[in-house]
Amino acid sequence: MRADRLVAALLLMQARGRVTAAELAERLEVSVATARRDLEALSAAGIPVYPQPGRGGGWSLLGGARTDLTGLTAHEAQALFLLAGPSAPDAPELRSALRKLLRALPQTFRDEAEAAAGAVVVDPARWGEPDKERPELVRVLQRATVRRRRVRLVYEGRRDRERTERLVDPWGLVDKDDIWYLLAGTERGQRTFRVDRIAAAEVTEEEFERPDGFELSRAWAGVVEEMERRRSTVSATVLIPARLLPILRDHFGRHCESLGEAADGRVRARVAAPMALTIAEQLAGWGARVEVEEPDEVRAELARIGAELVERYGH
């Protein structure tokens, strides 16, 4: 990942004072050309990284071998942490690199850089909705999150489409398969807002403080757990040919769990959904290739669907 390499390059130059493209390529296990492009990209972005030609030359940070990175502007530091931050929950090495870089920043930049690193989480798992363009509103909310400014939202309800105005503390943004969510503090506690239902957002000058110990990735995990609990209140155990298990998983996503091989060579799996009818509707098209062992309510729904089809098409 390029963000990981850029942070590593900065830390290596801080530790050594000067590094050649060949040394960086060896350390990062990339080609010399790739290492050189990374160094040039850092320089082009305005980060104080400069080449020194000739024997004994290389690339170094302005300020010497033990620079405190005072050449970085506040916006550059934020940009670097926003670039690398979303990948950090799944990359222990990157988290470590960010912590080290954070300590190297001037004190005046640390708070906003740290907020930028925790302002966005990327969750690639889908909830079965179509791809959507990234809303322009995300950038507005992202800046408010980093600057810790309250936001006045006009939010549209899911069912009644009624619009309400709310003053919230934007704690963080989550990108879940191109659908953005805002985790925010309200007078009623933590709430989750879909950004595509925010009709308007006004960033105020009122400052807020995140709750002590708040971690966006952990808070989002709690939201996902609660959502999945609601979406999987009914489960069914099914038998299916092993070759069809990947297709079943594609239908049910994370709500399909393999339970191992049955005595007849088929695979036993557990699938889940909000209602028995939802499971039956998903399985009806499989015909006799899938057998529902339990519960009876799913079997009854399948029988009802089958009877309706026979009545309409049996003749």
CATH architecture of 123-229: Roll (2.30)
- Mean pLDDT (whole number) for 186-204: 91
pLDDT tens digit sequence for 112-128: 665 655 565 556 565 66
**Confidence at residue 266, expressed as pLDDT on a 0 to 100 scale:** 94
pLDDT tens digit sequence for 45-81: 667 777 777 666 788 776 543 444 445 555 655 555 5
**Confidence at residue 64, expressed as pLDDT on a 0 to 100 scale:** 45
Q: How many other CB atoms are found less than 10 A from the CB of residue 310?
A: 10
Q: How far apart (Å, rounded) are the C-alpha atoms in residues 96 and 99?
A: 5
- Mean pLDDT (whole number) for 36-50: 75
pLDDT band at 37 (very low <50, low <70, confident <90, very high): confident
Q: Among 145, 175, 122, which residue's Cα sits nearest to residue 3? A: 122
**Confidence at residue 72, expressed as pLDDT on a 0 to 100 scale:** 56
Q: How far apart (Å, rounded) are the C-alpha atoms in residues 172 and 182?
A: 6
pLDDT band at 1 (very low <50, low <70, confident <90, very high): very low
- Percent of the chain whose pLDDT exceeds 70: 70
Is residue 253's pLDDT more than 50?
A: yes
- As annotated, the residues of the chain forming the CATH 1.10.10 domain(s) are 2-117
Q: How far apart (Å, rounded) are the C-alpha atoms in residues 175 and 121?
A: 6
Assigned CATH topology for domain 2-117: Arc Repressor Mutant, subunit A (1.10.10)
pLDDT tens digit sequence for 131-141: 555 567 888 89
- As annotated, the residues of the chain forming the CATH 2.30.30.520 domain(s) are 123-229
**Confidence at residue 205, expressed as pLDDT on a 0 to 100 scale:** 92
**Range 232-313 classified under CATH 2.60.40:** no
Is residue 83's pLDDT more than 60?
A: no
pLDDT tens digit sequence for 143-166: 888 888 999 999 987 666 788 899
Q: Among 268, 260, 259, 179, which residue's Cα sits nearest to residue 224? A: 179
pTM of the model: 0.45
Is residue 299's pLDDT more than 50?
A: yes
**Confidence at residue 12, expressed as pLDDT on a 0 to 100 scale:** 74
- Mean pLDDT (whole number) for 79-96: 55
Task: Find the radius of gyration of the CA atoms of the chain.
Answer: 26
Is residue 223's pLDDT more than 50?
A: yes
**Confidence at residue 259, expressed as pLDDT on a 0 to 100 scale:** 92
Is residue 129's pLDDT more than 60?
A: no
Between 190 and 13, the more confident residue is 190
**Confidence at residue 67, expressed as pLDDT on a 0 to 100 scale:** 40
Tokens of 34: 């790739």
Q: How far apart (Å, rounded) are the C-alpha atoms in residues 58 and 301?
A: 71
- As annotated, the residues of the chain forming the CATH 3.30.70 domain(s) are 232-313
**Confidence at residue 305, expressed as pLDDT on a 0 to 100 scale:** 92
Q: Among 145, 141, 151, 93, which residue's Cα sits nearest to residue 117? A: 145
Residue carrying structure tokens 């799944």: 90
- Mean pLDDT (whole number) for 294-306: 93
- Mean pLDDT (whole number) for 73-100: 57
Q: How far apart (Å, rounded) are the C-alpha atoms in residues 306 and 299?
A: 10
